[in-house]
Chain A
Amino acid sequence: GAGVSQSPSNKVTEKGKDVELRCDPISGHTALYWYRQSLGQGLEFLIYFQGNSAPDKSGLPSDRFSAERTGGSVSTLTIQRTQQEDSAVYLCASSLDLRGEAFFGQGTRLTVV
């Protein structure tokens, strides 16, 4: 596609429920990243995928968070048993490779009530 696409754009969920956030990177981009941005703050790295290599999960805040990337393209970030502190905007980005410029999607605003 023309840009990085994320869905849904907004998600309101009850505490304790699981959510799945989707990211479609730019076609041909081998690197894909997930970040979290809490209100009024900078970005917090979560995880990145590069080609067929094992993902770097070092930024995932707890074992309730997981992500996968199928077929080297679409990625899903899953948050299990959501907590109120998970409320944030989740941003996905992709780049041609790890050293290239990153292009960000519009984000998914997650609100846990």
Chain B
Amino acid sequence: ELKVEQNPLFLSMQEGKNYTIYCNYSTTSDRLYWYRQDPGKSLESLFVLLSNGAVKQEGRLMASLDTKARLSTLHITAAVHDLSATYFCAVGTNAGKSTFGDGTTLTVKP
């Protein structure tokens, strides 16, 4: 059974600081997804990582995938308040039947 672990589960950061969220998974998988969820809202797709060594960046967020280590990271650079949200990674052979981590709730403080 595929298990996906995120850490930390809660993260409080100051604006301008850098931090990394980790996503470990237990079995080989084709692809890894990162999503953002704002309170009371649905999920927004951030990144789809398809192969070992894949790196994708959008704004202050950068995601990478190491399939050998079964690890993905979401790096936040110079955090701003607008990045406050819950971030989920999900692993699976397709977008539909994915196993989600428990989410990392990020709070960026001024």
Contacts and interface: CB of A to CB of B under 8 A. Distances in A.
A93 B101 contact: no
Contacts of A44: 100
B3 to A, nearest CB: 12
Interface residues of A, number: 26
B101 A45 contact: no
A42 B103 contact: yes
A113 interface: no
Interface residues of B, number: 22
A73 B96 CA distance: 16
- Residue of A43, A99, A101 most packed against chain B (CB within 10 A): A43
Interface stretch (B40-48, B68-76, B77-85): B40-48
Interface in B61-110: 88, 90, 93-103
A106 B43 CA distance: 8
Interface string B17-35: 0000000000000010101
Contacts of A75: none
A58 to B, nearest CB: 8
A105 B102 CA distance: 20
B45 A45 contact: no
Interface of B: 31, 33, 35, 41-45, 48, 88, 90, 93-103
8 contacts: A48-B97, A56-B97, A93-B43, A95-B95, A99-B31, A99-B94, A103-B45, A104-B42
Question: Which 5 residue pairs of A and B lie closest in terms of their CB atoms, listed nearest first?
Answer: A48-B96, A102-B95, A33-B96, A98-B94, A42-B100
Given A33-B97, A56-B96, 15 more contacts: A31-B94, A31-B95, A41-B103, A42-B100, A43-B88, A45-B98, A93-B96, A98-B95, A98-B96, A99-B31, A99-B95, A100-B95, A103-B45, A104-B43, A104-B44
